[in-house]
Amino acid sequence: MVIDDSPILVPPSDIGTHLGRLLDNTEGTDVSFIIDDEAFPAHRAVLAARSPVFKAELFGSMAESTMPSIMMHDITPATFRTMLRFIYTDELPAEDEHQDTSTEMIQNLLVAADRYALDRLKFICSQKLWDKVSVDTVGTILACAETYNCQELKNKCIDFFVLEENFKQAVFTDGYVALVLKFPSIAAELKRRVRE
Amino acid sequence: MVIDDSPILVPPSDIGTHLGRLLDNTEGTDVSFIIDDEAFPAHRAVLAARSPVFKAELFGSMAESTMPSIMMHDITPATFRTMLRFIYTDELPAEDEHQDTSTEMIQNLLVAADRYALDRLKFICSQKLWDKVSVDTVGTILACAETYNCQELKNKCIDFFVLEENFKQAVFTDGYVALVLKFPSIAAELKRRVRE
């Protein structure tokens, strides 16, 4: 008989799956976010663990309140729902026909990720925006990268922009005009790089 | 110029690290476990997400209590501390000289994992116990696998036990005697397998 000395295999980490279920069944929620008459119940402990901004907000003055309701004005329900799902599961929903994966939606998510200091979500948004970079979008996405401190995305956009075949088209987009108006320093860098 | 079309790399999931920090700084805890005069503050949402048993206990009758203190009698502080760390981080502490990794400690952890239905922790304990199987320990570990429904560990222990060079020594251990007294069905299976 051959001895079976293979190890016992341990399944992969399921902590995100577990927290995702907690979010779904809403049991034990102790805070609620209200956006456009839609309520998002959540657990302060999870939010605080994942976001230093939520931690400061929820364990500060509201700590004693039994079930605070927080009105949110600067975020859409769809963006908040996706961010909340990410906070609990460390993943974005799978991309399918029902999922809005437009550049605008990802930019909105990046704004929220920056607002709540969700660094890993910022990387994911940067990755998805980089997939969408074209001569039509590079101006807008570069402005977004600069605004929300996505250094790697910014560098890649600049490298893409200054290629002659891209540059000759990208400068005629509205996104480029908005970029140079808002960020003269980037305009200067593009100029310097194109002349090299 | 070469186009850099490499993707932007996203760091690995950090949800366990975040929850581990939440456990360390004890902010926002809303339940406390008392074992031998030692207090372990924790967050009900995290415990309930990870363990259906904690979920039933903490979101049942105690749900309305502001900060319940729960006396625990059937677990040691060291075992509870390790289990709590696993619940938050999905990992066991790294093995070093300060860490008790005795067979007894792992068995205690398996008892707790079974009690709170932490299936992945049961796999980890099974894996660690399998590493400790020898002619001296196989009887005790087999009884443990049977008691706590670790099927893979049980099958591997039986395969190990019935090898002639192991069998001739293992039957003289106290662990074997305790095993056959407690589980006659396993004794019957070992007998059948040895005669094959």
Find the closest chain A residue to B131 by CA distance. Answer: A7
- Exposed / middle / buried, residue B192 (Cβ in 10 Å: 0-12, 13-18, 19+): exposed
Interchain pair A120, B10: CB under 8 A: yes
- pLDDT for the residue numbered A124: 96
Helices and strands, counts by H and E, chain A: 11, 3
B101-196 sits in which CATH class?
alpha beta
Write the CATH number of the domain with boundaries B15-73. Answer: 3.30.710.10
> Is 2.40.37.10 the CATH classification of the domain at A14-92+99-121?
no
All residues of chain B having their beta carbon less than 8 Å from the beta carbon of residue A90 are: 13-15
pLDDT of residue A16 exceeding 70, the answer is yes
Q: In what order do the strands lie in the sheet with B38-42?
A: B38-42, B31-35, B69-71
Q: Tell me, yes or no, if the two domains A14-92+99-121 and A133-196 fold the same way.
A: no
Which residue is it, tokens 């502001």? Answer: B66
Of the ranges A14-28, A87-101, A157-171, B104-118, which one carries the lowest mean pLDDT score? A87-101
Q: Would you call B143 an interface residue with chain A, using a CB distance cutoff of 8 Å?
A: no
Distance from CA of A13 to the nearest CA of B (A): 6
Q: Which of A71, A84, A128 is nearest to A104 (CA)?
A: A128
Q: Would you call B27 an interface residue with chain A, using a CB distance cutoff of 8 Å?
A: yes
- pLDDT for the residue numbered B68: 83
| φ, ψ (nearest 5 deg) of residue B68 | -65, 140
Find the closest chain A residue to B15 by CA distance. Answer: A90
Helix (H), strand (E), coil (C) string for B154-167: HHHHHHHHCCHHHH
Q: Would you call B2 an interface residue with chain A, using a CB distance cutoff of 8 Å?
A: no
Mean pLDDT estimate for chain A? 91
Distance from CA of A22 to the nearest CA of B (A): 5
Q: Would you call A126 an interface residue with chain B, using a CB distance cutoff of 8 Å?
A: yes
pLDDT of residue A120 exceeding 70, the answer is yes
Of the ranges A87-96, A121-130, A159-168, B176-185, which one carries the lowest mean pLDDT score? A87-96
> Are the C-beta atoms of B85 and B47 separated by less than 8 Å?
no
Interchain pair A13, B18: CB under 8 A: no
Q: Which of residues A98 and B128 earns the better pLDDT score? A: B128
All residues of chain A having their beta carbon less than 8 Å from the beta carbon of residue B55 are: 27
pLDDT of residue B99 exceeding 90, the answer is no
Q: Would you call A62 an interface residue with chain B, using a CB distance cutoff of 8 Å?
A: no
pLDDT of residue B123 exceeding 80, the answer is yes
pLDDT of residue A163 exceeding 90, the answer is yes
Across the range B176-195, mean pLDDT stands at 94
User: Would you kindly state where each structural domain of chain A is located, as residue ranges?
Assistant: 14-92+99-121, 133-196
Distance from CA of B7 to the nearest CA of A (A): 7
> Is 2.30.30.100 the CATH classification of the domain at A133-196?
no
Interchain pair B28, A44: CB under 8 A: yes
All residues of chain A having their beta carbon less than 8 Å from the beta carbon of residue B130 are: 7-8
Mean pLDDT estimate for chain B? 91
In this prediction, residue A62 has a pLDDT band, given cuts at 50, 70 and 90, of low
